[in-house]
């Protein structure tokens, strides 16, 4: 049982401002989840500044989490700039 939440630090932005999206993936199961991937397409009008995964890697729009242990969570921080 995987649960994904996405939080943004600002509801409105001006051109040139930075915005941070935080994705948290939680495994509520008593068993590890394997081969976990999350796809996140950012809205138009923003460009990547920094990507910080707590585990795995992020390429394009896909977060390859890999194995998520039972009763654990992983976080992906996406920092973008409004164009």
The model's pTM is 0.92
Q: What is the predicted pLDDT for the residue at 36?
A: 98
Contact 40, 61 (CB under 8 A): yes
Task: Determine phi and psi for 40, rounding to 5 degrees.
Answer: -135, 110
Calculate mean pLDDT across residues 12-24: 96
> Which tens digits make up the pLDDT trace of 38-65?
999 988 999 999 999 999 999 989 999 9
């Amino acid at each position: 049982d995987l649960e994904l939440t996405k939080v943004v630090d600002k509801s409105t932005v001006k051109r040139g401002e930075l915005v941070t999206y935080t994705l948290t993936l939680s495994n509520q199961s008593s068993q590890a989840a394997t081969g976990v991937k999350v796809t996140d397409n950012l809205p138009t009008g923003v460009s990547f500044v920094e990507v910080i995964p707590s585990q795995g890697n992020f390429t394009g729009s896909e977060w390859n989490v890999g194995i998520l242990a039972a009763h654990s969570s992983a976080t992906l921080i996406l920092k973008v700039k409004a164009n």
